[in-house]
Amino acid sequence: MTVLVINSGSSSIKYQLVDPESGEALAVGLVERIGQGENGHLKHEVNGEKHEFTGAIPDHKVGMEKLIEFFGQFGPNLETSNVAAVGHRVVQGGKYFDGPALVTDEVEKKIEDLTPLAPLHNGPALTGIRAARELFPDTPHVVVFDTAFFQSLPEEAARYALNREVADKYNIRRYGAHGTSHKYISQRVAEIMGRDDLKQIVLHIGNGASASAVDSGHAIDTSMGLTPLEGLMMGTRTGNIDPAAVFHLERVGGMSVDEVDKLFNKQSGLLGLTGESDLRAVHELVENGDENARVALRMYTRRIAKYIAAYTVMLGGLDAITFTAGVGEHDDVVRADVIEYLKPFGVAIDEEKNAAHASSEREISTPDSRVKVFVIPTNEEVEIARQAMTLV
């Protein structure tokens, strides 16, 4: 039994054919530059062999047809690989979905209705779902929502101190994001430590970044909010900022709502402070004596540490901290700087283990650290595949 996992973006389709039991990816690929003339590109890898296509990919349906063709040419053939389900990642499930859902016309409509809460994500995901359903009409399709893991947030964590009638009318609350990753990591840590009563903090730190507090497998808080803008400082997003900055920029700067939206989401964070959104480039600036980059890096790690401290209080203690995603898995400097803030809590990491550039999961805390510290590669595709199988 396998699951074809699809993650559709506005001009791309990421995919994996996953064995949900072993977690093995039998094939992985990316269709990109969809709708960009002859510049369309498909990368496909199976059994260590890489295959590519460049040419016109006018829409997501053609992109799906092309990836099916590649499976047929370079194996395993989707028609004979016993595909039990097609699993789709969707960012925003709103208040409607607290777990995976079989795709129906009604579910599609709900995803479409929630597009204003995730305009960059839900629309493209829906396009991919519709294309896949057309090409796999007899296979169950399952959607897995990034927000579902955070439906368990207590009311005091999910609700904003906004007028209740307004908030309820417009569905304004904390939805969170990256929930599939937070769920996978928190479950994996529980397996490693052999306990289901852990108090843990998961740090999904990539170009987008989020933190979560998980108590006995249930999320009790998370840093992202109504949208992925809230919370930690990110590659191009501000993270937490006084909402009055919007009013100020409108009244004094003469900026429109769309201009402020673009400023906060795409032109701020590390990019806005240093000119670089990639932390590797920021580190180079720091090494070359760039003061703006040095301050930006301190801001970045300081915010992460503040969330850890706050969540430790909310959890009533702490057993484990886990770093995951691009930065969390590969940036030993960020990990070391964050943990340095936590010395008063008795948290310590082994410098040698932290600096090791390994891609496998590992513990990096010292034997006498009061809290276990892990680096674990996230695997959202496996989590999506396994959740899909629960309905199939």
Whole-number Å distance between alpha carbons of 222 and 118: 17
CA–CA separation, 42 vs 34, rounded Å? 10
Do the Cβ atoms of 268 and 277 come closer than 8 Å?
A: no
Which residues are catalytic, by number?
A: 146
The CA distance from 40 to 170, in Å, is 39
Q: How far apart are CA 145 and CA 148, in angstroms?
A: 5
Structure tokens at 1: 């039994």
The rounded distance, in Å, linking the Cα atoms of 88 and 103 is 9
Residue bearing tokens 């909010």: 225
The answer to whether residues 229 and 265 touch, using CB atoms and an 8 Å cutoff, is yes
- Give the whole-angstrom CA distance, residue 109 versus residue 221: 28
Sequence-distant (6+) residues with CB within 8 A of 73 are 51
Cα–Cα distance, 196 to 211 (Å, whole number) = 20
Place of tokens 């960009």: 36
